[in-house]
Structure 1
Amino acid sequence: MAKVSKHALNKVLLRTQGCQFAHNYERMQSLSLTYCFAPVLKELYGDAPKEDRVRAMQRHLEYFNTHPLAIPFILGIAAALEETTDEDQKETVVAVKTSLMGPFAGLGDSLLNLTWTPICGSIGASMCINNGSLIGPLVMLIMINALYWPIKIYGLYGGYSKGMEVIEKFGVQVFDRLSSLANVLGVMVVGGLIPTTVKLACAIEIPLGEGDPLVIQDQLDKVLPYALPVLLTFICYRLLKKGQGKNSAQLIVGLIVFALVFACLGYYFPGLKIFA
């Protein structure tokens, strides 16, 4: 059987950029995965009988769903297995792909979607909010891809050259543990960003005779600093979880309306000023 060339792996890497464009509810990413992997199959089965080529395509059309950034690594391992196994042992390729898609899905979601992406988004948003800079979204895009592209490149070529060695040495369970660690890290990072990103304060002042008024926010800062930003974030989180993320646009519009209403109340009716 032929050997997979670097040219074919380069094609696979470029095609993985569109691996999310062919989802279906029956087999999820299988169609796009097969399209990404087609250059490898073309090299390995270019001179093979038609029946072998058909079977090769069919086994990669089985159900598959994982994090997009894990696809290059898994395809790298699959390319190495396709290259080294006999035709009667090709079920190994499917078994390895199936065993890896679950752990990598959890690892990618927790480490990237729930940790790195919110960090990049918070930095970009803070640049827009604090400095009025329009390059915040660009900074976010650069930061995300500065991590994503090295992962894709190393994942594909590292998976092809020594991916199975890593799995045989550490086992699939190591990815589950990394996923749990990433979840904890994500919670800590996002929690630390709340006080600097979410701005909400109580503007109620209670007059105390001729002395200085009692400022509610000052009292809150002495007991529970940033209690209101944390409370607002918790409410938004609960609403997003209840709506399974489908109500994010309505929630954003609701927050804008909330801010505008109380800003107008504080401007036209200073005595009704509640939030600042």
Structure 2
Amino acid sequence: MGKISKKTLNKVLLRTQGCQFAHNYERMQSLSLTYCVSPVLEELYKDAPKELRVKAMQRYLEYFNTHPIAIPFILGIATAVEENTDEEHKDTVTAIKTSLMGPFAGIGDSLLNLTWFPIAGSIGASLCVANGSILGPIVMFLLINLLYWPLKYFGLHKGYESGMSLVDKFGVEVFDRLGDAANVLGVMVTGGLIATTVKLSTAIEFAFDEGDPLVLQTQLDSVLPCLLPIIVTFICYRLLKKGQGKNSAQIILGIIAVFLVLFALNYYIPGFPKIFA
């Protein structure tokens, strides 16, 4: 295992659970990263002069921002580089952190935040919607963490064992390609979730003197099934993007208010056209 003990690596793993608690808009995750890697630095520099210990800490206080699940893997590689390079070449640690944080941020956002998280959430939500079961949030929590924890554990230990050889073998470019592939997969999964979880149909009909009435929903389904769910999702997406995700509560309350008003109009005003089924 080298100079760093498995116990120390597990300390780093536990500390990564709180890697977002000290997030700031100047250096993003630098404070959390320094806190996470400090057990490694304490073990490596326990007999070193104070100046070297301070300099080692300062390497991790520089700007850093990536997906939280990728932090253990990057720290594993950084730890291996820390113990195998002399003080004159420690800039390699900063270089590897900087080169990996961008690609892993894209992979994490695409595969985890935009793919696995919605899948786990939709499974949990379906349990709640079907029968109001408390198992919904529990299942979602378990699905997320049954993937996240192994990724973090094996990422940290495998990154430490492989060190720079993993990056030298595949190159940083492979992570960019994985990010692009994950974006495509995320779009496909999100499209499937819209069709299966967003339910909206119209009850508008056009009556004629002769023959059966023209049902608008039937015509829409023949042209493009799930057109109304796609339109509603697109509107919500645009509103979320415009508000940078800070207006999600207002959007949810707004949707509820619109449909409550339409329901009240249909219920209290005779002859008011029924728009949604």
Give TM class, smaller chain. over 0.9
Q: Following TM superposition, by how much is the alpha carbon of 1:31 offset from its aligned partner in structure 2, in angstroms?
A: 0.8
2: distance between equivalents of 1:128 and 1:269?
33
Structure 1: gaps spanning 5 or more residues? none
2: distance between equivalents of 1:192 and 1:24?
35
Counterpart in 1 of 2:29? Answer: 29
Amino acid at match of 1:273: K
Alignment of 1:168 with 2:168, yes or no, is yes
Tell me the matched-pair count: 275
SS at match of 2:20: coil
Alignment of 1:274 with 2:275, yes or no, is yes
Q: Following TM superposition, by how much is the alpha carbon of 1:150 offset from its aligned partner in structure 2, in angstroms?
A: 0.7
Q: Matches of residues 124-139 of structure 1 in structure 2 within 5 Å? A: 124-139=124-139
Q: Following TM superposition, by how much is the alpha carbon of 1:178 offset from its aligned partner in structure 2, in angstroms?
A: 0.5
2: distance between equivalents of 1:129 and 1:196?
13
2: distance between equivalents of 1:202 and 1:133?
29
2: distance between equivalents of 1:144 and 1:129?
20
Counterpart in 1 of 2:72? Answer: 72
Alignment of 1:206 with 2:206, yes or no, is yes
2: distance between equivalents of 1:208 and 1:251?
38
Q: Matches of residues 1-276 of structure 1 in structure 2 within 5 Å? A: 3-209=3-209, 211-269=211-269, 271=271, 272-276=273-277
Deviating more after overlay: 50-59 vs 29-38: 50-59
**TM-score, normalised to structure 2's length?**
0.95
Q: Following TM superposition, by how much is the alpha carbon of 1:210 offset from its aligned partner in structure 2, in angstroms?
A: 6.1
Q: Following TM superposition, by how much is the alpha carbon of 1:270 offset from its aligned partner in structure 2, in angstroms?
A: 5.9
Q: Following TM superposition, by how much is the alpha carbon of 1:87 offset from its aligned partner in structure 2, in angstroms?
A: 1.5
**TM-score, normalised to structure 1's length?**
0.95
Structure 2: gaps spanning 5 or more residues? none
Q: Following TM superposition, by how much is the alpha carbon of 1:48 offset from its aligned partner in structure 2, in angstroms?
A: 1.0
Structure 1 ranges of 4+ moved more than 6 A: none
SS at match of 1:40: helix
2: distance between equivalents of 1:70 and 1:54?
25
2: distance between equivalents of 1:169 and 1:11?
28
SS at match of 2:143: helix
Deviations 1:19-69 (A, max 9, x none): 001112221111110110010011111111111111111111111111101
Amino acid at match of 2:149: W
| Contact 1:73–1:163 under 8 Å retained in 2 | no
1: distance between equivalents of 2:36 and 2:238?
38
Amino acid at match of 2:67: H
Amino acid at match of 1:274: I
| Contact 2:78–2:163 under 8 Å retained in 1 | no
Amino acid at match of 1:275: F
| Contact 1:3–1:83 under 8 Å retained in 2 | yes
Deviations 1:114-172 (A, max 9, x none): 11111111222222223333321221111111111111001100000014222101100
Deviating more after overlay: 265-274 vs 84-93: 265-274
Deviations 1:164-204 (A, max 9, x none): 22210110011110111011001111101112211111111
Amino acid at match of 1:243: G
Amino acid at match of 2:276: F
Amino acid at match of 2:143: M
